[in-house]
Amino acid sequence: VDLESPEEMEEEIPVVICAAAGRMGAAIAAISSIYSNTEANVLFYIVGLKTTIPHFRKWIENSKLKEIKFKVVEFNPMVLKGKIRQDASRPELLQPLNFVRFYLPLLIQKHEKVIYLDDDIIVQGDIQELYDTKLAPGHAAAFSDDCDLPSTHEMVRSVGMQNTYMGFLDYRKQAIRDLGISPSTCSFNPGVIVANMTEWKHQRITKQLEKWMQRNVEENLYSSTLGGGVATSPMLIVFHGKYSTINPMWHIRHLGWSPDTRYSEHFLQEAKLLHWNGRYKPWDYPSVHTDLWENWFIPDPSGKFKLTRPDS
């Protein structure tokens, strides 16, 4: 009898991560950090556009990451047609891959529970712990609350970070006021998501998110000044009061918010997941805590992707 080896029996942990042109090194470092810090059976879903996938595949296959289990999924930006308002101030936020998190059930088959991660993260803990996050009955997703971390409160004040709904939604608009959500409600960051696919489909979350994207195109409902507002705002509306929370140490963020605001080294060592959300990315210059990121980076064998450093 062909008995499956225990490894085959072990639950697969699906992790969705995007590989965007110009920042593929980010996805490489993220994957490398996850893979190096766990014994769990991780299956990486690497989502890209047709043009970038071959380069990424080569990078994995010609590095120590060739051992990982991965599936490459091509994202078709046509699904976004008519759903995105062009915003000249931060065009990078309109990258089609920013919206991959809206379409998880279309990309992932057969998994009940899925982890979605932005590319500008490093995982220092065991991803199994994040996967074990409990979702309350009826919740399709878990996120990190923006008011959950005392250590970030200082930073929030010093660099004017947004941590309430008022920073993301335009409360001068009737459609927003009609939601009945107080503007001082704590926002959450959708760069790290633990999602339940059954609930997601059952509640037709993707449809709801698309509806709010569409309405924004017609009525300009989100604060356009906002970094990340484009993909975050619909989620804030759809998941309001209906999400579970992720342990704050599993999403230490704002590392990319300012080129000179730093966290204490001790705190960063305790952190399970670091997120350089904001403009100052660790593969660019200037940025902070780049050593923690570079630790996991694997240079591009083709030489196309290069780190920007003060001496380069």
Quick one: tokens of 298?
A: 């694997």
Q: How far is CA 264 from CA 6, 138, 149, 152, in A?
A: 41, 38, 14, 11
Phi, psi of 308 (to 5 degrees): -95, 115
267, part of any domain:
yes
Q: Does residue 6 lie in a domain region?
A: no
Q: Which pLDDT belongs to residue 193?
A: 98
Sheet harboring 41-48: ordered strands across? 69-74, 41-48, 12-18, 113-117, 188-196, 141-145, 244-245
**How confident is the model over 124-149, as pLDDT tens digits?**
999 999 999 999 999 999 999 888 66
Residue 253 within a domain: yes
pLDDT recorded at residue 1: 54
Quote the domain boundaries for residue 288.
Answer: 13-152+188-219+228-295
The 8-class DSSP code of residue 278 comes to S
pLDDT digits (tens, 9 = 90+) for 84-113: 876 655 555 568 899 999 999 999 989 999
Which amino acid, residue 138?
Answer: G
Least confident of 110-119, 178-187, 221-230, 280-289: 221-230
Q: What percent of the chain has pLDDT over 70?
A: 87
Q: Alpha helix locations (H) across 18-166?
A: 24-36, 53-61, 104-107, 127-131, 150-159
- Measured between alpha carbons, how far apart are the two ends of the chain, in Å? 59
Q: What is the pLDDT of residue 258?
A: 87
168 has pLDDT over 80: yes
Q: Is residue 232 part of a domain?
A: yes
147 part of a folded domain:
yes
- Measured CA to CA, the distance from residue 218 to residue 83 in angstroms comes to 9
CATH number of the domain at 61, please. Answer: 3.90.550.10
Higher pLDDT, 90 or 51: 51
Residues sharing a CB contact under 8 Å with residue 126, sequence separation 6 or more, in sequence order: 37, 38, 39, 40
Q: Check if the beta carbon of residue 189 is closer than 8 Å to that of residue 171.
A: no
Q: State residue 45's pLDDT score.
A: 98
Task: Give me the pLDDT at residue 143, please.
Answer: 97
Q: What is the mean pLDDT of residues 271-280?
A: 94
Is 113 a domain residue?
Answer: yes
Question: Per-residue pLDDT tens for 7-24?
Answer: 555 789 999 999 999 999
User: Among 115-119, 149-153, 160-164, 204-208, which is the least confidently predicted range?
Assistant: 149-153
Give the number of C-alpha atoms closer than 13 A to the C-alpha of residue 254, restricted to the C-beta side: 24
The reply to whether 75 falls in a domain is: yes
106 assigned to some structural domain: yes
Q: What is the distance between the alpha carbons of residues 221 and 237, in angstroms, rounded to a whole number?
A: 11
Number of domains in the chain: 1
pLDDT of the residue at 70: 97
Q: Which residue has the higher pLDDT, 31 or 279?
A: 31
Please name which of 147, 204, 208 lies closest in space to residue 179, comparing C-alpha atoms.
208
**pLDDT band for position 117 (cuts 50, 70, 90):** very high
pLDDT of residue 261: 81
Instruction: Give the tens place of pLDDT for each residue, 173-212.
Output: 999 999 999 999 999 999 999 999 999 999 999 999 999 9
Query: Would the pTM of this model clear 0.85, i.e. be above it?
Result: yes
